[in-house]
Structure 1
Amino acid sequence: MTVQEELFALQDREYADFQSRLVPTVSRQTFIGVRVPQLRKLAKRMGKVREKQMQEQRQDFMQALPHSYYDENMLHSLLISEINDFDACISAVDAFLPYIDNWAVCDILPPRIFKKEHRRLLAEIPRWIGSDQTYTCRFGIEMLMTHFLDDDFKPRYLELPAQVHLDEYYVRMMVAWFFATALAKQWKATVPYLENHKLGIWTHNKTIQKACESYRITADQKEYLKGLRLGKAAGAFDRG
């Protein structure tokens, strides 16, 4: 079977209906309805097969961009995450990012090899964050959040998402998610970004909302953050 035929063999129409409601930016007609555990299982099988014919099938699938179906894009992301060579992985990521058209495909992409290559990954992140493409920018912010808010954290990294000015919902939401996570992990370095109104008013308030929903933020911290919320009168601070 072709890859597309394999996906249709796993089709669940009710799940497709459900998934399409979660990803409203994508047409319902593009959803086959393959559950994520099944996609992961298929990606692992395709990634491990060493038979020449299967390797060629995998390569042909990953070069056949753009794909026709949401589930094909999800599978493509998961296949990239199976790549164990850093340079090959970066090439595959860069080839695929321009074709991502929704948050779910973007957020399931993060490759495992990145955990082992922080120094090299850090060199790639600024160009992704600096992109004017919604999901390339979102992916870059997510990589910074995932890999550089713990042991490898440096306060200057916070400037990268703070300087993003793309007026796109899924970018602004990721910036808010980033800063809410940064508050939980690096409070002292992060809270001045709210105290000094360094984020747009929507992102500022969304950051506080998400932080207050987090179990990793203490009760006292949540009370302090609530006092930093901005109203319409603070519009002068809105940087978009």
Structure 2
Amino acid sequence: MRCAEESVHWDRKTVQRALLEMAEPDYQTFASGLIPGGKPMLGVRLPALRSLAKRIARSDWRAFLSLQMDESFEETLLRGMVIGYAKADAGELFVHVAHFVPEINDWSTCDSFCNTLKFVRKVPEQAWDFLQPYFSSEREFEVRFGVVMLLDHFIQEAYFDRVLDILDRIQHPGYYAQMAVAWALAECYAHDPQQTMGYLKESRLDAFTFNKAIQKMTESFRVPAADKERLRAMRRPKETE
């Protein structure tokens, strides 16, 4: 027997009412300042948004995705989260992911969406092939999507060499793409300091991205103090950035 929650019809009004009930004006003011350039925010905290996404994913989530709601930051991210929590074969989910990625226009939507797509860990090679076009995209947040997917799901022994190779080849000048590469390299260093250090000594990264990667490594609690001193000494001159 289906539970009452599964029988909820998540039409536009029902979803918007649920979002407004969870919205917090003070949080809206705070979060809006952290996410420049995005859509208007209602002020729903991420845990509450994830809870709603999981409820929708247990119902007729395909009908919900067909609504194409995108008037607010939360409406857009909610759809991305539902894709991540939905139960379907990987092929169908990748279709929905591909449709959603062009809608990403801020770092928070990108990063929360990527983190939710844990189904890719069950089909890593299929996911790896799916991601390849994004690394050479001309769109800043498509590149960031690809890179954050790497750092969330592929920093592991079987893919480590390939991850470093891809990060070294990314040349997008957008700030959020460059910062994603820096973040990913910091995660690589925490995973395998020796191999990542060898890469850094010969990397072709632009100076801005390289120095941001060094900064993130030295800010990490997972990097020993002795390593941080060595890393700081590798910073490139600012005039070459």
The bucket for the TM-score relative to the shorter chain is 0.7 to 0.9
2:166 aligned with 1:166: no
2:223 aligned with 1:217: yes
Match of 1:25, SS state, is: coil
CA shift at 1:100, angstroms? 0.8
Give the aligned length. 226
Please name the residue that 2:106 is paired with: 102
2:208 aligned with 1:205: no
Please name the residue that 2:5 is paired with: none
CA shift at 1:60, angstroms? 4.4
Please name the residue that 2:57 is paired with: 47
Please name the residue that 1:91 is paired with: 95
CA shift at 1:154, angstroms? 3.5
Within 2, Cα distance between the matches of 1:205 and 1:183?
14
Match of 1:152, SS state, is: helix
What RMSD in Å do the two structures reach over aligned CA positions? 1.7
Within 2, Cα distance between the matches of 1:222 and 1:68?
44
Within 1, Cα distance between the matches of 2:208 and 2:190?
20
CA contact (8 A) 1:3 1:61 kept: no
Within 2, Cα distance between the matches of 1:136 and 1:232?
27
Deviation digits for residues 63-105 of structure 1, max 9, x if unmatched? 3446110010121121011123211211111001101110111
Please name the residue that 2:38 is paired with: 26
Within 1, Cα distance between the matches of 2:14 and 2:160?
46
Within 2, Cα distance between the matches of 1:232 and 1:112?
38
Within 2, Cα distance between the matches of 1:232 and 1:177?
19
TM-score between the two structures when normalised by the length of structure 2 = 0.87
Within 2, Cα distance between the matches of 1:138 and 1:221?
27
Deviation digits for residues 119-169 of structure 1, max 9, x if unmatched? 211111211222222222111111112222223234133121211111111
- Between 1:2-11 and 1:98-107, the stretch displaced more is 2-11
2:18 aligned with 1:12: no
Q: Percent identity?
A: 31
Within 1, Cα distance between the matches of 2:127 and 2:152?
11
Within 2, Cα distance between the matches of 1:160 and 1:74?
27
Please name the residue that 2:82 is paired with: 79
Pick aligned residue for 2:192 from 156, 177, 186: 186
> What runs of 5+ residues in structure 2 fail to find an aligned partner?
1-12
Please name the residue that 2:47 is paired with: 37
Within 2, Cα distance between the matches of 1:206 and 1:188?
19
Letter of the 1:6 counterpart:
A
Within 2, Cα distance between the matches of 1:148 and 1:119?
10
Please name the residue that 2:119 is paired with: 113
Match of 1:172, SS state, is: helix
* Residues 162 and 96 of structure 1, relative CA distance in 2, 3 Å threshold: same
> What runs of 5+ residues in structure 1 fail to find an aligned partner?
50-54
Deviation digits for residues 37-85 of structure 1, max 9, x if unmatched? 2111111111112xxxxx2xx4344234461100101211210111232
CA shift at 1:191, angstroms? 1.7
Please name the residue that 2:6 is paired with: none
Pick aligned residue for 2:134 from 128, 131, 136: 128
Deviation digits for residues 167-203 of structure 1, max 9, x if unmatched? 1111000000011111111222222332234211011
After TM superposition, the structure 1 = structure 2 runs for residues 222-237 of structure 1, keeping only pairs within 5 Å, are 222-233=228-239, 235=240
